[in-house]
Amino acid sequence: MRMFRSTRWLMLALLFSLIPASSHAQVVISVGFAPPELPVYEQPICPEPNLMWMPGYWAYDQDQGDYYWVPGAWVEAPYDGALWTPDYWDWYGGRYRFHRGYWGRHVGYYGGVNYGFGYEGIGFVGGEWRGNEFAYNTAVMNVNQHTIHTTYVDRASVERNTIANNHRVAYSGGPGGIQHTATPAEQVAAHDKHTAPTRFQTQHMTAAKADKTSFAKANSGHPRNLVAEKPLREEKHAVPSGQKTEAKTEPKSEARPKAEPKTESRPKVEPKSEARPKAEPKSEARPKAEPKTESRPKAEPKAEARPKAEPKTESRPKAEPKSEARPQAHPAPASRPAPASHPAAASRPAPASHSAPKEEPKHK
């Protein structure tokens, strides 16, 4: 019995040595018989933004010697911009190999197996990252649009990337398997730096393994629990080195131009200093007081011959209009020359006919 087990592991080691290096890291186990067909089920509604869909798949338990179903589930990406490449089985050298899924910037090759819900066989058409938000293609994804507002509809991409799988085959290659060669885009994704499934994804698989009803021998290939009722818990990872996401870098670069208008708003303060010259007209208003000093000579005619001095004062007001020409907008100074006519001074000769002439007849 021990010799049989040793021989079995030796054969597996020889088989793995023949696997290309690019896919060797993804291979987890090899089985001698094919996994059951993929069951038909409905995708539960995505309740929150930025959740990614992990399709259900058949895993294998060596102790039980049987396949068991891992329910599909909504799970949050370990970092913004990450996409999930699902687990899949392929056929190589007469045996079926299991390839573990992974997170990366692009969706890689998963054997052309049509899991549905965006994983139609080639790449992923269920949505795309737009900055720090994931936009869902509601042509194939079931989301709650009351809480998720980043959605779109693209049926053309779904048709282009769909591989027909009428028999719900769960493996690639070999007799009766999906025949699909990796596209150039899927080959590029194979060389990206990948992140392993999160701890909660692994726990999800372990819980399915502990459920005896999930094994194919117990359910005849028709599992009872096809999908997880609630999303898996969040587990954040650092972005792999050299794989910084555009989601994190783009908002920062967009935020920088927003700060520039703040520097442009500084010149708005400068017009306040330009308003200072408006105070200068106040100093121009000072000449209004000058006519007051010019009016002082009006009292001088009292000592001189009053009739002759009055015309001199009348000539001075002629100079006043020159000062009035400066503040033409101010009519107030124009009214000041009016007193120059002094009607009171014109009446002063009347007292000159005092009663002195009346006294002359008394001497006769």
Q: What is the block-wise mean pLDDT of the chain (364 residues), using blocks of 10 residues?
A: 46 41 58 96 96 98 97 95 97 95 96 97 97 96 96 97 95 95 93 93 96 96 94 66 45 40 44 44 44 43 43 44 44 44 42 44 44
Mapped onto helix, strand or coil, the DSSP state of residue 215 is strand
Which of 91, 87, 127 is CA-nearest to residue 109?
87
Could you read off the pLDDT of 275-299 as tens digits, one per residue?
A: 444 444 444 444 444 444 444 444 4
Residues 6+ apart with CB under 8 A from 52: 74, 75, 76, 77, 82, 83, 84, 134
Whether 125 and 137 have beta carbons less than 8 Å apart is answered as: yes
Rounded CA-CA distance 91/112 in Å is 13
* Cα–chain center distance at 344: 87
Distances (CA, A) of 137 to 133, 185, 239: 13, 20, 25
* 66 alpha carbon, distance to own chain's centre: 48
Q: What is the DSSP letter of 20?
A: -
pLDDT of residue 356: 43
Q: What is the pLDDT of residue 115?
A: 97
Instruction: Give the H/E segment covering residue 151.
Output: strand 151-152
The pTM of the whole model exceeds 0.75? no
pLDDT at position 27, please? 72
| Angle at 142 (CA atoms; ends 137, 147), nearest 5 degrees | 90
pLDDT at 267: 43
The DSSP output letter for 12 is H
How many separate helices (H) and strands (E) can be counted in the chain? Answer: 14, 13
Q: If we measure between CA atoms, which residue out of 55, 57, 34 comes closest to residue 44?
A: 55
pLDDT digits (tens, 9 = 90+) for 48-89: 999 999 999 999 999 999 999 999 999 999 999 999 999 999
